[in-house]
Structure 1
Amino acid sequence: MTKPAVAIVGAGKVGTAFGVGLARAGYEVLGVAGRTPEAAERLACRLYCAATTHPEEITQTAGLVFITTPDRVIGEVAGQIAARGGFVSGQVVLHASGALPAEVLAPARAAGAVVGSLHPLQAFAGTEADIEALCGCYFALEGDAAAMTVAERVVRDLGGVPFRLAPGSKPLYHAAACVASNYLVALVDLAARMCEACGLARQQAVQALLPLLAGTVGNIGRLGVPAALTGPISRGDIPTLAAHLQAMAGFPAWKAVYTSLGHYTVDVALAQGRITAAEAAAMRKLLQEAQVQ
C-alpha cells in the first residue's frame, strides 16, 4: 500500500508527535495547520512543510488528514474545513481523541471522505520523549472500515500496536485510560500528602514513592493482574487494615478514597485466590463501617 500524503491539523503535543513520527516513518507531510502562525510554523520547520492557520489550504491535496486539535473543537474544525471545500471524496480523515467517536467527523464523511479515530494510549507531556513513546504504544481505533485499514497501517508504521474498539464504547474506554493514567497521578499526590503527615518533605515523599511505583508496574508486566497484587488486603491482614483506617480517622477525604479502593481491591484479592470468602467478608465489613464513621 502506498503511503498517503498527510496534512496535520493541530500543532500541539499530539500533532507534533504524530507529525514527526509519520515523517520518520516515510510519510510525506504536506503541511501543518495551527491555531496561530507561530504554532504552525514551529512544527512545520521540523517537517520542512507548509504552515498555515487555514486548514483547508493543506487538506485538499492530502490523502490522509489528521485532526489533532483539542477535543472540544474537533467537530467545529471539521465543519469549517468542510464548509470551505477542504475535504474530498476518497480521503481518509482521522482524529486523535480518546473520548469522541468517529461520528464527530460527519462533515468530512458528507464530503465523501472515510472517517475514524486513532487514539494513542499514552500520556503526552510535550517533550521529545512523546515521539519515541509512539513505538510500542497501543492505539485504539474505531470508525469506517476503509479508514480502519489505513489507520492500522499507520499505527504499524509508527511501531505501534492497533486494536479496535466495540461500537459505542469510546467513553468507557477513555474512562479506563483516565483511571490508569490521570488517577494514578492523583493517587501519588494522595500518598505523598500522607507521607508529609508522617514528617517527609513533599519532594522527598514523591521521590521515595517512585521506586515502589516502578516495582509495582514491573510486577504487573511480569506477573499480570491479579497476580501482582500485594499488601494487607491480598493476604487478609485485617489488623493492619484496621490500623490504616484508624490512622486516617482525622483525614476523612483520605479515608474515603482508601475505603473505596479497598472495596475493589478485595475483589481483586479474591480473584487472586489468596484470601477466603470469610476474610473478604470481614474486610468488606471493616471498610463499610469506616465509611460511615
Structure 2
Amino acid sequence: MDTRPSAPRRAPLPRLAVVGQGRLGGALTRALRDAGASVSGPHGRGFDGTGADVVLLCVPDEAIAAAAAAVAPGPLVGHCSGATTLEPLAPHEALSLHPLMTVPGPDAELRGAPCAIAGSTARARDLAGAIAATLGMDAFAVADDDRAAYHAAASVAANYLQAVEALAERLAASAGVPREALAPLARVALERWQADGPAALTGPVARGDAATVARQREAVAERLPAADLALFDALTAATERVAADRGAVLTGASA
C-alpha cells in the first residue's frame, strides 16, 4: 500500500473566457482547456463577459481599455500585456497574466514558462497565480510601477539580442562564415549566463586583451557601415562593464 502523502488538490478555477483571436488568445484557450479548466473562446473584441467569472483579454495594448469597457460589471477582468498596468481595466476588479515567452501560434507550450502576474486586490492576485499554476507556469509578481522596467528587460533579452546576433552575422558573412556556425557559441554563452551571470563572460575584453579588441574594431570599420561600428563600440564599452562585474564576482568567490 502506498503511504506517501498525496499532493494537495488545487481548487478548480472559476469559469474563464478569453478575448482575442490572435496567437496568444488561441494558445491560452487551448492550454486552459487541456488543463481541465472551464473556458470559452477565444471570443472577438466586444465580448461582454456573459457566462464567465473571469475574462482574460489577449488583445493589443492599445485595445485593452476598450475591450475591458465592453465587459459588463461582475466578472474579474485581466489582460496579458507585459508593459501595461492595471489602470486600463478599471473599474473592474483586475488582474494581469503575462507569459514571459514568445508565442508563435496556438500550439505554443506554456508549461514551464515564467509568468508575470499582478492584481488590484489580493483575491485577483491569488487568482492570477492560480491560473498560472494550472497552466504549469512559474509565476512572479510585478507591481504596476515596475511594468515598464520589466518589459524593457524582456525586450533587451529577446529583441535586442537579435540585433546583436545580426551584427555578428554580418561580420561573419564578410569572412565567408555562415550564420549557423555562430549558433552553438551563442547558445552556450546564453546557457552559461543563465547559470553564472557575469562570471560566465569570456573573450578578449574579459582577458583585458586590448590589442585583439583593436584589431576587431579595425575589421568592423573596414567592412561594415558606420552604424555597425557605433554598435560595436557601444557593446565593447558595455562588455567592459560586465568584465568589471565579473572581476568583482570572481574576487568575492575566492575571498
- Aligned equivalents of 1:274 and 1:173: distance in 2? 25
- Aligned equivalents of 2:14 and 2:236: distance in 1? 50
Is 1:10–1:33's contact at 8 Å kept on the other side of the alignment? yes
Q: Secondary structure at the match of 1:169?
A: helix
Q: Which residue of 1 aligns with 2:117?
A: 141
Aligned residues between the structures: 237
Q: Which residue of 1 aligns with 2:93?
A: 114
Q: Secondary structure at the match of 1:248?
A: helix
Q: What is the RMSD of the two structures over their aligned residues, measured on CA atoms?
A: 1.9
Deviation at 1:127, TM superposition (A): 5.7
1:87 to 65, 72, 87: 72
- Aligned equivalents of 2:160 and 2:236: distance in 1? 15
Q: Which residue of 2 aligns with 1:194?
A: 171
Once the two structures are superposed, residues 160-181 of structure 1 have per-residue CA deviations (whole angstroms, 9 ceiling, x without a partner) of 1111113311111111100000
1:30 to 33, 40, 48: 40
Percent identity among equivalent residues? 36
Question: Do structure 1's residue 246 and structure 2's residue 218 form an aligned pair?
Answer: yes
Q: Secondary structure at the match of 1:126?
A: coil
Is 1:60–1:88's contact at 8 Å kept on the other side of the alignment? no
Cα distance change on mapping 1:190 and 1:119 into 2, 3 Å: same
Deviation at 1:274, TM superposition (A): 7.7
2:57 to 61, 67, 70: 67
Deviation at 1:98, TM superposition (A): 0.8
Q: Which residue of 2 aligns with 1:17?
A: 27
1:255 to 229, 242, 254: 229
Once the two structures are superposed, residues 76-95 of structure 1 have per-residue CA deviations (whole angstroms, 9 ceiling, x without a partner) of 2222x1xxxx3333x22110
Question: Do structure 1's residue 125 and structure 2's residue 99 form an aligned pair?
Answer: no
Is 2:119–2:128's contact at 8 Å kept on the other side of the alignment? no
Q: Secondary structure at the match of 1:225?
A: helix
- Aligned equivalents of 2:143 and 2:213: distance in 1? 39
Is 2:29–2:40's contact at 8 Å kept on the other side of the alignment? no
Deviation at 1:142, TM superposition (A): 2.1
Once the two structures are superposed, residues 60-84 of structure 1 have per-residue CA deviations (whole angstroms, 9 ceiling, x without a partner) of 22011110011121112222x1xxx
Q: Secondary structure at the match of 1:61?
A: coil
Cα distance change on mapping 1:197 and 1:76 into 2, 3 Å: same
- Aligned equivalents of 1:272 and 1:7: distance in 2? 47
Q: TM-score, normalised by structure 2?
A: 0.87
Deviation at 1:153, TM superposition (A): 0.7
Structure 1 gaps of 5+ residues are 36-53, 276-293
Q: Secondary structure at the match of 1:20?
A: helix
Counterpart residue identity of residue 147, structure 2: K
Once the two structures are superposed, residues 215-246 of structure 1 have per-residue CA deviations (whole angstroms, 9 ceiling, x without a partner) of 1122123x320111111111111111111111
Q: Which residue of 2 aligns with 1:279?
A: none
- Aligned equivalents of 1:258 and 1:185: distance in 2? 14
- Aligned equivalents of 1:29 and 1:5: distance in 2? 6
- Aligned equivalents of 1:75 and 1:135: distance in 2? 28
Q: TM-score, normalised by structure 1?
A: 0.76
Counterpart residue identity of residue 149, structure 2: L
- Aligned equivalents of 2:239 and 2:59: distance in 1? 37
Q: Secondary structure at the match of 1:18?
A: helix
Q: Which residue of 2 aligns with 1:157?
A: 134
Is 2:193–2:200's contact at 8 Å kept on the other side of the alignment? yes
